[in-house]
Structure 1
Amino acid sequence: MFFSILLLIEIMSGQNSKINGVSFVSSRVKIDSTHTKPVVTTLGANYATVMPFGFVSTISTPEIAFNGRRQWVGERRAGAKQYALALREQNLKIMIKPQLWIARGQYTGFINMTTEDDWSKFETSYTAFILEYAELAQEINAPLFCIGTELENFVKMRPAYWTSLIKKIKTIYKGQLTYAANWDEFKRTPFWSELDYIGIDAYFPVSEEQTPTIEACIEGWKTHKAVIKEYALKYNKPILFTEYGYRSVDFSGKEPWRSDRELNQVNMQAQVNTTKALYETFWDEDWFAGGFIWKWFYNYSTSGGESNSQFTPQNKPVEAVIKQYYKQYSK
């Protein structure tokens, strides 16, 4: 009902403003205005994700290490707070999005304890981790909090735990909630009705072309878009791309989730075209709330560039594309 009222207001006022966000990467150092201003001046963003981290050794390790002295500044609670406040000085709204990292980059969606006792220990550890940052989100009045990122098997195996966790979070944090489901996970996430946004890390395959055209990518989005819209209407919740973006490489729309360095043939036009197609597909839809580009490093002048094949848009032609749409759909 709340979403429907907001949507009606937007339609009546002739506006379709969006969350135009960046995923601001944690680093070793504190940040200041020299690091935060480019988020606004080069992109025109109005939101930023701050991402503290917890670490586990394997997919079956039941303890999460977090907020420790050996972590980078931006990965700990004090650092996440410092990042959030520095970004807010640029009039950026904040989503706190605590994430897990498994040693050697194992996928978090495969987390699977081997005994009931270990599941219980892991749930206790995850609760402590997530409530730590729910408290931070409430402390700084962050308008958005993400309760987890790409944890499909954990959600599948322990659905009752997640219902209980959401209730606990709501006793601490009074803002809006989402969960960052992987692109091929969101259809099976059981608790969307308990949250404010359907969150998707939007690495959907859209084209197998070496340099995908805008038109090919828009065509490639059609089937995915229909399903995404179906879920927005089913739950009466706006869709939020908790992460989205493409690498500046050949075949950037084929398997957009891949981050391995075997993909290294730089292709700036592929990144531009896939990104334009995403905006053209979603940013004008009333049921779509916006999203957070993946990813943005604090040291702008030395990040990205035209020899960089990774996700960041920094110092690449795609920056101008993002700024164009963010300006058009400012909030």
Structure 2
Amino acid sequence: MRLIYAFCLLFLLGSCAMTSINPTKINGVSFVASRDSISKKNIDPILKIHANYASVMPFGFIKNLSHPEIQYNSNRQWFGETKTGVKQYILELKEEGVHVMMKPQIWVWRGEFTGQISMTTEEDWKFLEDSYTKFIMDYAKLAEETDVEIFCIGTELENFIDKRPNYWKKLISQVKQVYHGKLTYAANWNEYLKTPFWSNLDYIGIDGYFPISDLKTPSVEDCKTGLQPWKNEMKAFYSKLKKPVLFTEFGYRSVDFNAKQPWRSDGYLDEVNLKAQTNATKAFFDAFWNENWVAGGFIWKWFHNHDKSGGKEDNQFTPQNKPVEFIIKEIYSNN
């Protein structure tokens, strides 16, 4: 009788474990590729803020918005942008217990916005599709080989998707033949509502650079008020699709007016404002990290040489060596 009871108890406990939802958020950093390989010393600062995921981002390059050929994995690229470097980063991160999202990205020379990529002929569209497929499939195979938990099939490619939706559904099927982890796409904050293939993916991926305040130094409450309409929109979208939201990128610069156009990384503003960064980031966490329909996200951005990155004179996105780093550590340690 005791043996039967023990067996039943183990069965029930196992059933509960299999059906329960893991409450842990994806507390991620966007780990920037560099010229160098990485080691434990480069990963320790990630662990110190209790991040459990890192986004690793190999790059492909095109000459301009209407050029169809993607060049990648060349000896002219930085080590961390190549297949060899990406694999080394992934293996080192995993050795230290950090999960990985692989997020291959396109860079247009001179930094033009990838969402505006568009070909002028059918021949060029076909060329771009073949080139992009090769780029993505190479990295999907590497993601499978290295047991990457999440694979992102693209980043902010609105026009490419809008003009060639059937291609993308075919690409997703091809990726699923070689990669068996979770899939997402990184839609821009104003793009995700019309992305046509969320039902074929595991997460609604959003780069969360929503405009939320015109103030020079918005308070936490100002930012939360500005985020509320976007939060309502996303929650309604989640309720419709039943797919969790994953912020494939999110973050704010440490600069004046940082919540007005949070996506901007150019030099249109240069006054350092650490308080604005701290307030906006705290508001973002307050708005989303306790919601069960939000899987988590990846702070933009984190450099491998922590001691030399960010700091109180830096007006860019990285939270490293700034007051906002303590906010991230606090949130990540509790989720």
Q: Please indicate the TM-score interval, normalised by the length of the shorter structure.
A: over 0.9
1:23 alignment partner in structure 2: 30
**Residue 120 of structure 1 aligns to which amino acid in structure 2?**
K
Contact 1:98–1:133 (8 Å) recurs in 2: yes
Between the aligned partners of 2:41 and 2:292, the Cα distance in structure 1 is 35
Identical positions, percent = 55
Equivalent residue for 1:40, pick from 41, 47, 58: 47
Between the aligned partners of 2:235 and 2:79, the Cα distance in structure 1 is 39
2:329 alignment partner in structure 1: 323
Q: Which runs of 5+ in 1 are unaligned?
A: none
1:248 alignment partner in structure 2: 254
User: What value does the CA root-mean-square deviation take over the aligned residues?
Assistant: 1.3
Between the aligned partners of 1:192 and 1:147, the Cα distance in structure 2 is 12
Between the aligned partners of 1:178 and 1:126, the Cα distance in structure 2 is 16
* Secondary structure in structure 1 of the residue aligned to 2:107: strand
Equivalent residue for 1:297, pick from 299, 303, 315: 303
Equivalent residue for 1:215, pick from 215, 218, 221: 221
1:77 alignment partner in structure 2: 83
Aligned residues: 320
Contact 1:7–1:286 (8 Å) recurs in 2: no
Equivalent residue for 1:165, pick from 156, 164, 171: 171
- Residues 141-163 of structure 1 deviation map (CA, whole Å, 9 limit, x = unaligned): 11100000000000000000000
Between the aligned partners of 2:42 and 2:171, the Cα distance in structure 1 is 35
Between the aligned partners of 2:118 and 2:160, the Cα distance in structure 1 is 7
CA-CA distance at 1:74 after TM superposition: 0.4
**Residue 20 of structure 2 aligns to which amino acid in structure 1?**
I
1:138 alignment partner in structure 2: 144
Contact 1:21–1:47 (8 Å) recurs in 2: yes
Higher relative contact order (CA 8 A, sep 6+): 1
Q: Which has the larger radius of gyration?
A: 2
Instruction: Calculate the TM-score normalised by the size of structure 2.
Output: 0.94
* Secondary structure in structure 2 of the residue aligned to 1:316: coil
Contact 1:180–1:200 (8 Å) recurs in 2: yes
Contact 1:134–1:145 (8 Å) recurs in 2: yes
- Residue 258 (1) aligns with residue 261 (2): no
Instruction: Calculate the TM-score normalised by the size of structure 1.
Output: 0.95
Q: Which runs of 5+ in 2 are unaligned?
A: 1-15
Q: Runs (4+) of structure 1 moved beyond 4 Å?
A: 5-8
Deviates more, 1:301-310 or 1:29-38: 29-38
CA-CA distance at 1:206 after TM superposition: 1.0
1:51 alignment partner in structure 2: 57
Between the aligned partners of 1:124 and 1:188, the Cα distance in structure 2 is 24
2:102 alignment partner in structure 1: 96
- Residue 231 (1) aligns with residue 237 (2): yes
* Secondary structure in structure 2 of the residue aligned to 1:181: strand
1:200 alignment partner in structure 2: 206
Q: 1:248/1:8 Cα in 2 relative to 1: closer, same or farther (>3 Å)?
A: farther
Q: 1:6/1:249 Cα in 2 relative to 1: closer, same or farther (>3 Å)?
A: farther
